[in-house]
Amino acid sequence: MSEPSWQDLGPAEAFRSAALQQVTIGRLRLAVSFRDGEFGAVHGACSHAGGPLGEGTLEGDYVVCPWHHWKYHRLTGLGEPGYEDDAVPRYPVRVVEGRLEVDIANGTKRSRKPHDPHPLARRVERAPGPPRVLGISTTNMEAGYPRYSTSEALLEHALGFAAASLGAEQRMLRLRDLEFRACEGFYSKSAHACTWPCSITQMDPDDQLDRVYEAVVHWADVVLVATPIRWGNASALYYRMIERFNCIQNQVTIANRVLIKNKVAAFIITGGQDNVQAVAGHLLGFFGEIGFHFPQFPYVAHSRGWTAEDMENNVRFVRESAELREGAEQLAARAVDEALLLLDHQDAAHRFSRGGRKAHHMAADPTPVPAAPPGTPPPR
Ligand code: FES
């Protein structure tokens, strides 16, 4: 035990009025609690990703982190039952002449149970092989009663063409087949509360957006996104997916870590009413922001116009349109060509780099993945 260093926090009465408060002494953050007539003080930074524990809530004697809900005993600092090894320091407290004091020299040790990193947290490295084309269909429909989707049909055609005529590997993901939660706004708590992999992905093993992350970040060279037009916008499932992509973009902002490199996106947009360009504008803006490149003429689209309500004819038109199928083929070809150019460029940069010059900007993901990245909460 060290020589005590008692610090005055203020009138004890002020700490009796709130169950939990965050206070700072110099650079030390503390979560000070009061319950059943007893004060407690634990470190104010969560062992997971540094969430402000004093801004969380008290559940019985456990302080609940406001970011991803890890829990620590307010008097011992130990993690909740089963996770005692995930502990934050706790500090002695006392009341002297009506003032609350904390001994900051005698905090216990912080500990963190080793957690296996989430598989998605691995370094992004392109495995050798032919170009890889991922199709994402954002169309919704009842699984037991499927209908014809014009955008999905063109996407299937483009993927078939990429495999048969471009020598590409192809993979299709239909968002309607996946169970995944909507973004819950971790970013709105703090940029650092939004983690890669996504906080929801790490906490909820039943959430299936990990399949999309895996394919988009680790597998694909080309991502073809197909969407219907819904009230002048892309589909609701599309927006549900890209809200969850915030964690990809946020890595650039908070960690200077670019997860999407040398990848190409292109789009298929169909609908009964107009607004193709508004939908395309959004798709281009979003995918550009997270780091994708685009081929020349990066989308194929079809709509019937504002006054056309004859959807049967619309479907028949797309179904029978050789021009649209050819457009989807050319889109896939342009996207794969662009991806190959980028990959060649990357290889050339690596060769150049081996020759003694640096080419940081072309490396796939130069950020080393820490052995135990901060975002690895076990499901709780
Ligand atoms: S930072 Fe506290 S639970 Fe994630």
The CA 65 to ligand 1 mean position distance, Å, reads 6
- What is the rounded CA–CA span in Å between residue 343 and residue 351? 12
Q: Which residues contact 103 (CB under 8 A, 6 or more apart)?
A: 4, 5, 6, 7, 91, 92, 93, 94
Nearest of 295, 304, 129, 282 to residue 222 by alpha carbon: 295
Does any ligand 1 atom lie closer than 6 A to the CB of residue 46?
A: yes
Ordered by start, the domain boundaries in the chain are 6-103, 119-362
Is-contact 168 131, C-beta < 8 A?
Answer: yes
Does any ligand 1 atom lie closer than 6 A to the CB of residue 234?
A: no
Atom 3 of ligand 1, nearest CA residue: 68
Name the stretches of the chain with pLDDT < 50: 354-376, 378-379
Residue 318: how many CB atoms within 10 A of its CB? 19
Q: Which of 29, 43, 46, 189 to mutate to test the pocket of ligand 1 (most atoms within 8 A of CB)?
A: 46
Question: Which two three-digit tokens encode residue 347?
Answer: 């290889």
Question: Which two three-digit tokens encode residue 46?
Answer: 């969560």
CATH number of 6-103: 2.102.10.10
The CA 375 to ligand 1 mean position distance, Å, reads 8
Is-contact 256 300, C-beta < 8 A?
Answer: no
Query: Residue 363: its pLDDT value, please?
Result: 38
Query: Residue 380: its pLDDT value, please?
Result: 53
Which CATH superfamily, name and number, covers 119-362?
A: Flavodoxin domain (3.40.50.360)
Query: Residue 350: its pLDDT value, please?
Result: 62
- Ligand 1 atom closest to 49 (CA): 1
Burial of 155 per CB tally in 10 Å (0-12, 13-18, 19+): buried
End-to-end CA distance of the chain: 34
Query: Residue 336: its pLDDT value, please?
Result: 97
Atom 4 of ligand 1, nearest CA residue: 68
Dihedral angle sign, alpha carbons of residues 64, 180, 206, 203: negative
Does any ligand 1 atom lie closer than 6 A to the CB of residue 70?
A: yes
Burial of 254 per CB tally in 10 Å (0-12, 13-18, 19+): middle
- What is the rounded CA–CA span in Å between residue 301 and residue 323? 11
Domains 6-103 and 119-362 share a fold: no
Does any ligand 1 atom lie closer than 6 A to the CB of residue 67?
A: yes
Q: Which residues contact 378 (CB under 8 A, 6 or more apart)?
A: 83, 115
Q: What confidence tens digit (pLDDT) does each residue in 48-90 have?
A: 999 999 999 999 999 999 999 999 999 999 999 999 999 999 9
ω before 197 within 30° of 0 (cis)? Answer: yes
The CA 113 to ligand 1 mean position distance, Å, reads 14
Full-model pTM: 0.86
- Ligand 1 atom closest to 66 (CA): 2
Q: Which of 55, 65, 195 to mutate to test the pocket of ligand 1 (most atoms within 8 A of CB)?
A: 65
Does any ligand 1 atom lie closer than 6 A to the CB of residue 68?
A: yes
Does any ligand 1 atom lie closer than 6 A to the CB of residue 88?
A: no
Does any ligand 1 atom lie closer than 6 A to the CB of residue 66?
A: no
Does any ligand 1 atom lie closer than 6 A to the CB of residue 239?
A: no
Does any ligand 1 atom lie closer than 6 A to the CB of residue 48?
A: yes
Nearest of 325, 312, 342, 234 to residue 278 by alpha carbon: 234
- Ligand 1 atom closest to 65 (CA): 2
Half-sphere exposure of 260 (CA within 13 A, CB side): 27
- Report which secondary-structure segment, H or E, holds 174: strand 169-174
Which amino acid does the sequence have at 163?
A
